[in-house]
Amino acid sequence: MKHTLTRSALALVISLVALPASYAMSKAQQWDYLQPDRDQMIASLNVVELLKRHHYSKPPLDDARSRKMYAGYLKMLDPARVYFTATDIQEFNRWETQFDDFLKSGNLKPGYAMYNRQLSRQDQYLDYALEKLSKGVDAIDFTLTETFETDREKAPWAADEEALKDLWRKRLKDQILRLKIANKEPKAIEELLTKRYKNQKKRLQQTRSEDVFQTYINAFAQTYDPHTTYLSPDNAENFDINMSLSLEGIGAMLQSDNEHVKIVRLIPAGPAEKSKLVAPADKIIAVGQGQKELVDVIGWRLDEVVKLIRGPKGSQVRLEIIPASNAPNDMTSKVITLTREAVKLEEQAAKKSILNLDQDGRQVKLGVIEIPAFYLDFKAYRAGKPDYKSTTRDVKRLITELQDEQVEGIVIDLRNNGGGSLQEATELTGLFIEQGPTVLVRNSDGRIDVLTDDHEGVFYDGPLTVLVNRLSASASEIFAGAMQDYRRALIIGGQTFGKGTVQTIQPLNHGELKLTLAKFYRVSGKSTQHKGVIPDISYPADMDINEIGESALPEAMPWDSIKPAIHLKKDPFQPFIAELKQRHNARTNNDPDFVFSRERLALNQRLQKDTLVSLNEAERRAEYAKIEQKQLALENARRASKGEDLLKTLIKEDEDDQIIAAAAEKDAQKKPEDDAYLAETGRILLDWLKLSPMASR
């Protein structure tokens, strides 16, 4: 739709003038102290050599890689394209195919020049925003008819500094409007943004040469794959501290998402997961220590946010987050409190339950074994203690207990299992197969190592299904892939995460390099990389796979295959898959939880595509009202199907401590049958038992 500017808006645009050249020059000169040193130059040469010799894929360092690095560096420096102009880009373009040569010679200066330009422009924007805010939020006209493109990843660069300043005006207006829609008062908005921008200015002035070097070298390293990264001396030290667990965190994997930090995965039994207050794709916008004031972290680097979140065991940290369940551009947030602690091995332990289902008027018992992680008490194992704790040992005991309860089949629940011990993935696979390979590891030199289950016999040969989702990763994918390749179990649920690579840490003269040196393959020869494990019967995704997963990461290594390690036997499930899917669809087409999941994801995906927003307050509020009505209709349709009370308005249940406590108690009392995905997995297994004469062997 074409939008035209009103007379007052046009007057405002015409009044914008280019920033004085002397001002821009003085801003640029204040960053002249940021220069590469000899240690960084040597480290860059070492990184080039290590990647050339040891990275799994060993791609050439040529003009094509230079172009990738250039594009990646621009995205790191200016992901929303709000700082550089088309003139800047024209100036930088002369280096587009030269970064390979710069790296080979240890020349870091072009990278520093681009970074310094971004710093000066960001500083100009902060000055501009602070000057506007000093006049008050009420001085801004929200009745004009104009729009702002929120997804600027592929937007054209501003033609010049005048166009750039108009973009800044709209960007600030959008940020204020988001906060107004989230029920913030004008004075509170002014104070919040003023404080945020002053803090960002202060942080800009604390920029070190090491910050520039780390960003520049990572722009190069991450052209190889997203898990190959350079760690500065400070970050390398923090990485070591984190590995030794001398400082604790919240049990969450984080990732940069433009100016935000996004939660990618929750560690099973960690503080965040146990709280039930956060979810993958939530965005952290502020962090506070105990009851101290929250520190706004929008625009901070990932490593800096991690430092704030981590702290002594037993201490409290407060997080202000924007839930992933919010509509796009909805800045409504909540503040939660978590107690830092180490993840206890016993809390990650596998556990069992009984799933009671009705089949043709007959009550059937199925066993469920939930495995949150693949764990092994290495210390006790290496010490030779006979009672060391491990996933396989626990699962073995649980299977025996379930068999004593005369279950007719078992569901292995690997949802949200992010992996862990590769040894345990192999050992666990051995409980369900006769003997043979479990996973293949192909190294950068082409050598293939085969991990094998050497124990003869099958511990459990009964009916089996494996339930997975997008957050089932690494060791989970190895086990699920083996169960699928050996035709041992039906794999049900969502496409798994897709991380099928192995990293190692290499020390440098200055910092460390984490690089990918191997890749996992299933016994069928298929990689788990990128695609993950595709279920035999799929459930609606409970999160957007374009947001979470290996395939969502830039430069993720591709899926491929190698020679199989086994001769695949005839698939006992294949003749019945079509019928199983038909029965599954017939049951779930009207199931309130399945319908809600499908329609909520479809709505979110539609909303994500609508990136052009109005800067007119009345229009924007009307847009939000429509979105809330759609979300309310979905929620009430689910409630009506379950016989629950309908809502008059959307409520933020998680903002009330009493409601949180009541919800936690309700969750604790839930039976396995109350989990729609788990119950449906059991019903598919019962269908299989009924259809196949071989299933009840």
499 part of the active site: yes
Q: What is the distance between the alpha carbons of residues 685 and 411, in angstroms, rounded to a whole number? A: 8
Nearest-5° Cα angle at 632, 626 to 637:
130
HEC string of 334-347 equals EEEEEECCCCCHHH
Terminus-to-terminus CA distance in the chain, angstroms? 64
Q: What is the distance between the alpha carbons of residues 396 and 221, in angstroms, rounded to a whole number? A: 43
For residue 149, the cross-strand partners are 612
Question: Can you say how many angstroms the Cα of residue 121 is from the centroid of all Cα atoms in its chain?
Answer: 30
**Hunting for tokens 């069928």 — which residue is that?**
524
Tokens of 132: 């506007």
- Per-residue CA distances from 629 to 319, 474, 609 (Å): 28, 39, 19
Q: What is the distance between the alpha carbons of residues 248 and 241, in angstroms, rounded to a whole number? A: 9
Which secondary structure element, helix H or strand E, spans residue 196, and what is its range? helix 186-204
Q: Give the residue among 52, 35, 60, 102 at the shortest CA–CA distance from 506.
A: 52
Tokens of 161: 């500094």
Q: What is the distance between the alpha carbons of residues 654 and 20, in angstroms, rounded to a whole number? A: 49
Q: Which position among 44, 66, 390, 474 bears the catalytic label?
A: 474
Q: Yes or no: say if 409 and 367 are a contact pair by the CB < 8 Å rule.
A: yes
Strands 410-413 and 362-370: parallel
Q: What is the distance between the alpha carbons of residues 174 and 616, in angstroms, rounded to a whole number? A: 9
Q: What is the distance between the alpha carbons of residues 144 and 414, in angstroms, rounded to a whole number? A: 52
Q: Which position among 173, 274, 283, 499 bears the catalytic label?
A: 499
Tokens of 352: 């069992």
Q: Give the residue among 366, 379, 375, 411 at the shortest CA–CA distance from 393.
A: 375
CA dihedral of residues 37, 39, 45, 47 (deg, nearest 10): -120
Q: Give the residue among 154, 263, 329 at the shortest CA–CA distance from 543.
A: 263
Could you count the other beta carbons within 10 Å of the beta carbon of residue 198? 13
Q: Which position among 485, 536, 675, 687 bears the catalytic label?
A: 485
Q: Which amino acid is at 389?
A: K
Q: What is the distance between the alpha carbons of residues 120 and 117, in angstroms, rounded to a whole number? A: 5
HEC string of 306-334 equals HHHHCECCCCEEEEEEECCCCCCCCCCCE
Q: What are phi and psi of 539, to 5 degrees?
A: -105, 160
List of residues 6+ apart from 485 with CB closer than 8 A: 522, 523, 524, 526, 566, 568
Could you count the other beta carbons within 10 Å of the beta carbon of residue 397? 12
474 part of the active site: yes
Q: Which amino acid is at 457?
A: G
List active site positions.
474, 485, 499
